[in-house]
Amino acid sequence: MNELFLGMRLRGLQYRRVYAEASFGFAFRAKPGCAYFYFLATGMGKLRNENCEIQTLSDGNAVFLQWLHGI
């Protein structure tokens, strides 16, 4: 992962590894001009966007979200 992030030349990178059990959720507020990368190593998950559309995620899925408002 570190090589991937370095290759993207990201500034202000914050990295966290989270282990979660079933029935656990996360909420992230959009920060204008910031991008978010999520990687699901094992298990399954759901991603709900601001329109309440749900995407099912599974082992090895990666998600890159970019908020452009305010740039």
Domain, as residue range, for 49: 36-71
Report the number of distinct structural domains present in the chain.
1
Provide the pLDDT for residue 1: 65
Residue 62 domain-assigned?
yes
Q: What is the spatial distance between Cα 71 and Cα 33, in angstroms, rounded to a whole number?
A: 5
Provide the pLDDT for residue 71: 43
Provide the pLDDT for residue 61: 92
pTM: 0.64
Q: What is the spatial distance between Cα 44 and Cα 4, in angstroms, rounded to a whole number?
A: 23
Provide the pLDDT for residue 56: 92
Residue 9 domain-assigned?
no
Q: What is the mean pLDDT of each run of 10 residues along the chain (71 residues)?
A: 70 76 75 82 86 90 76 43
Separation in Å, CA 45 to CA 8, 15, 21, 29, 38: 25, 20, 11, 19, 11
